[in-house]
């Protein structure tokens, strides 16, 4: 007789019995790793926050903060809770600050975008200018994303508003394409290949400056190159684009950069852009967000601002991706 494995269920928590103020205390304690600093951040007395910490320790049956010498360190459980608490607190704040209609002129919202320095260079100033004009009391926070953030984008986008990334890396999230670009190869201005043009052989023999190079991290052009059997000799790896010119100039290195970014660089940076000797394919820049915010008025406004900024900055109208397309990505 086949033995049927039992189904283990986590007991449902009675949220009505919880004090949500403890979530604020938990977030402050885990971020500050100090009762004194967390109390100052919250405007509470140290004994009051110590009492909250005691309640949290009883709830989780864990010390959360342990003293080592003159400092406190997070327990393994606290390390897990640190990010979850921030995401949960952001969600609670969004719930209780939601309004039937969004008025940009009176909003004090902080919009948080996860992006690369390339997108900041192309769109950042235009997005900031539109918000300064239409929503002068809001704040724009531009945070650099990383392969680790991209790998857990569904969680990151519960606390951040938008993530900028080309299609092909994410599934199950809502998306809107913004503009097109193209990849070019950059070499030092005095590199001999700058005069005669690049060959596939050059791509295999010259040392490379690679961006986001790793098992799960790459640019679309680098992926395409490897799919064609071209294996670059990577000498330097960076997780941004604006540092690439300095690492290429005056060397025999080669790199891939976006045409729009190259066009924004000063003329005397010491590099030259050359056509790629392979079909790199077009670069489509897109903004991604969690489907939970599809109908959120504040979020809709921010997406409209970014789409208008893309149209103003690069002269292209952003193409909306409807809900059906978003759902199709999940299959």
Question: pLDDT per position in the chain (331 positions), as tens?
Answer: 444 444 444 455 555 566 778 888 888 888 888 888 888 888 888 888 889 889 999 988 999 988 887 788 889 998 888 877 877 777 777 667 666 678 899 998 899 999 999 999 999 999 999 999 999 999 999 999 988 888 889 888 988 999 999 998 888 999 999 999 999 999 999 999 988 889 999 999 999 999 987 655 667 888 888 888 888 899 999 989 999 999 999 999 999 999 999 999 988 899 999 999 988 888 999 999 999 889 888 999 999 999 999 999 987 555 544 333 444 444 3
Q: What pTM value is reported for the model?
A: 0.72
**pLDDT tens digits for 141-178?**
999 998 888 888 988 898 899 999 999 888 899 999 99
Q: Which CATH number fits domain 105-331: 3.40.50.720, 3.30.230.30, 3.40.190.290, 3.40.50.300?
A: 3.40.190.290
- Pick from 164, 149, 154, 156: which is nearest to 115 by CA? 164
- Pick from 69, 78, 87: which is nearest to 30 by CA? 78
Q: Write the secondary structure of the chain as one string of H (helix), E (strand) and C (coil).
A: CCCCCCCCCCCCCCHHHCCCHHHHHHHHHHHHCCHHHHHHHHCCCHHHHHHHHHHHHHHHCCCCEEEECCEEEECHHHHHHHHHHHHHHHHHHHHHHCCCCCCHHHCCCEEEEEECHHHHHHHHHHHHHHHHHHCCCCEEEEEECCHHHHHCHHHHHHHCCEEECCCCCCCCCEEEEEEEEEEEEEEECCCCHHHHCCCHHHHHHCEEEEECCCCCCCCHHHHHHHHCCCCCEEEEEECCCCCHHHHHCCCCCEEEEEHHHHHHCCCCCCEEEECCCCCCCEEEEEEEECHHHCCCHHHHHHHHHHHHHHHHHHCCCCECCCHHHHHHCCC
Q: Please answer whether residues 147 and 217 qualify as being in contact, where contact means their C-beta atoms are separated by less than 8 angstroms.
A: yes
> Using CB atoms within 10 A of its CB, is residue 87 exposed (0-12), middle (13-18) or buried (19+)?
middle
Class of domain 18-97: mainly alpha
**Strands 110-115, 162-164: parallel, antiparallel or unpaired by DSSP?**
parallel
Give, rounded to a whole angstrom, the gap between the first and last alpha carbons of the chain: 36
Residue count (the chain): 331
Tokens 């903060």 identify what position? 65
Q: Please answer whether residues 198 and 277 qualify as being in contact, where contact means their C-beta atoms are separated by less than 8 angstroms.
A: yes
Q: Cα 298 from chain centroid? A: 19
Q: How far apart are CA 131 and CA 8, in angstroms?
A: 49
The structural domains of the chain, with segments of one domain joined by +, span 18-97, 105-331
Q: Please answer whether residues 210 and 243 qualify as being in contact, where contact means their C-beta atoms are separated by less than 8 angstroms.
A: no
Describe the crossing of helices 297-314 and 125-134 by its angle, rounded to 10 degrees.
130
Can you read off the two tokens belonging to residue 249?
């100039």
Q: How far apart are CA 219 and CA 34, in angstroms?
A: 40
Describe the crossing of helices 21-32 and 35-42 by its angle, rounded to 10 degrees.
130
Q: Which residues pair with 64 in a beta bridge?
A: none
């Amino acid at each position: 007789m086949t033995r049927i494995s039992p189904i283990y269920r986590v007991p449902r928590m009675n949220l009505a019995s919880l004090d949500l103020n403890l979530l604020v205390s938990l977030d402050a304690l885990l971020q500050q790793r100090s009762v004194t600093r967390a109390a100052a951040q919250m405007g509470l007395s140290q004994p009051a926050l110590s009492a909250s910490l005691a309640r949290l320790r009883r709830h989780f049956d864990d010390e959360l903060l342990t003293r080592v010498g003159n400092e406190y360190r997070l327990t393994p459980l606290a390390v897990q809770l640190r990010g979850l608490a921030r995401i949960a607190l952001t969600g609670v704040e969004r719930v209780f600050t939601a309004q039937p209609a969004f008025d940009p002129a009176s909003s004090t919202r902080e919009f948080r975008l996860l992006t690369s320095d390339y997108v900041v260079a192309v769109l950042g100033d235009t997005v900031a200018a539109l918000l300064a004009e239409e929503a002068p009391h809001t704040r724009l926070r531009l945070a650099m994303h990383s392969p680790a953030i991209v790998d857990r984008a569904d969680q990151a986008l519960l606390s951040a508003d938008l993530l900028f990334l080309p299609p092909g890396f994410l599934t199950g999230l809502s998306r809107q394409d913004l503009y097109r670009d193209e990849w070019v190869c950059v070499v030092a201005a005095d590199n001999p290949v700058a005069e005669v043009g690049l060959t596939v052989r050059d791509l295999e023999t010259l040392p490379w400056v690679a961006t986001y190079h790793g098992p799960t991290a790459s640019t679309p052009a680098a992926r395409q190159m490897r799919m064609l059997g071209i294996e670059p000799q990577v000498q330097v790896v960076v997780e941004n684009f604006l540092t690439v010119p300095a690492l290429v100039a005056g060397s025999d290195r080669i790199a891939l950069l976006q045409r729009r970014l190259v066009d924004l660089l000063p003329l005397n940076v010491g590099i030259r852009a050359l056509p790629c000797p392979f079909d790199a394919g077009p670069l489509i820049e897109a903004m991604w967000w969690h489907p939970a915010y599809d109908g959120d008025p504040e979020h809709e406004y921010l997406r409209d601002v970014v789409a208008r900024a893309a149209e103003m900055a690069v002269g292209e109208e952003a193409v909306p991706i409807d809900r059906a397309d978003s759902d199709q990505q999940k299959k």
